[in-house]
Amino acid sequence: MPSSSEQRAKIAYTTITLLGLAYAFYRGYLFWLPSRLSGFDHWQVGDWLIDYSGGMVRRGLSGEFFFTLAPDGATAITFVVVMQVALAATVYVLAAVLYLRTDRGPVWMMLVLSPAFLLFPALDATGNTRKEWLVLVALAIAALATRSARPALGLWLALPLFTAGVLVHEALIVLLPAFAYLAFVSLPRERARVLLGAYLVPVVISVGIALLRPGSSELAAEICANWRARGIEDCGGALAAIGMPATEMVDKLVNESFPGYWAYLLPAALATLPFFALRFFPRERLIGLLVVAGVSPLFILGWDYGRWVFLIVAQLSFIALALPERSRPMRIPLYGALAFILLWGFNHAGPAVSDGLAVRWLSSVLS
């Protein structure tokens, strides 16, 4: 039976964590909602509105869906933004439920409020509504079902969302290792293989479309004309990138982003601390290596290094939350957990390192 002081400490930890999650969701999504509904972000919304008006192309399925729902551009943008917020809200709620089913100590607080996990969208809102949130909802569902001793149900329920995610953005196939791991550690081997086979079907289709219909500048111009007919004038960002050859993207990354991007090694290293404090690492190093290996091609082909770090940490965090019995949290004082949460941050792209929440709050008070 926990002592009264231990019970009070747990209540304090829980309150701080849930308030932190609520703040992160507000600052990352609700705070920006009015401006996002009244404007057009050519990366965060534009990526969702690439369509098949110039012929089938990778990432175009989502645009077909939204323009079928709303033929005019302004309404389609509204639908996209509302769905983005709903996806993020689902992830935050499911993560909170998973957190409440741990021992709720300071190390679990460090995990869920890590600047590389659920605090990341609040620290850099310019990259927090991309298509990976579809698959993160699927992973959160699978994690919660695994924690509830119903892994097969959760993985089958997650499959449609995983399918939708990888079909609207081929890069999201890199999240497959997390689903495979949950299947093979929670189910008999034969059932896990069946599930893995089902998850591989949309992966193969997505890769096939990406290879056969990667996009071109001519196709991007046709999509741009369709957007302008619907009232969307800005054809930069994600649409411009769809017409850029992979070799040009790699050259742009190397010539414009390095050596500055080496600084991402610092937040990547800091992001591992909760996993070592949980003693999840080095015990579960195999899934750590598989997740890093799965995401590693994106560091060659894409510019958003912060997002790729986030995808690695999100996968490992949901696995740790789904299987807390595989962790043995160290005794970390509350001030140590808060220092980890508040004193550092990083961006999804561009300058790697950014101020942590504590520095931002102090600057706003003194300004």
For Cα atoms 287, 98, 305, give the angle at the middle one, nearest 5 degrees: 50
Strand partners, 345: 354
Residue 9 banded pLDDT, cuts 50, 70, 90? very high
pLDDT at 250: 87
* DSSP SS3 for 71: coil
Q: Please compute the mean of the pLDDT values over residues 29-46 and round it to a whole number.
A: 96
- Cα–Cα distance between 17 and 119 in angstroms, integer? 11
CA dihedral sign, ordered 318, 321, 324, 328 = positive
Is residue 169 within 8 Å of residue 61, measured between CB atoms? no
User: 272-328, pLDDT tens digit by residue?
Assistant: 999 999 999 999 999 999 999 999 999 998 889 999 999 999 999 999 999 999 999
Question: Tokens 């390192």 correspond to what residue?
Answer: 353
List C-alpha distances in Å: 318 to 3, 99, 110, 162, 315: 30, 10, 13, 15, 5
User: 172-194, pLDDT tens digit by residue?
Assistant: 999 999 999 999 999 999 999 99
DSSP 39-59: S--TTTTHHHH--SBTB--TT
Residues 6+ apart with CB under 8 A from 198: 156, 159
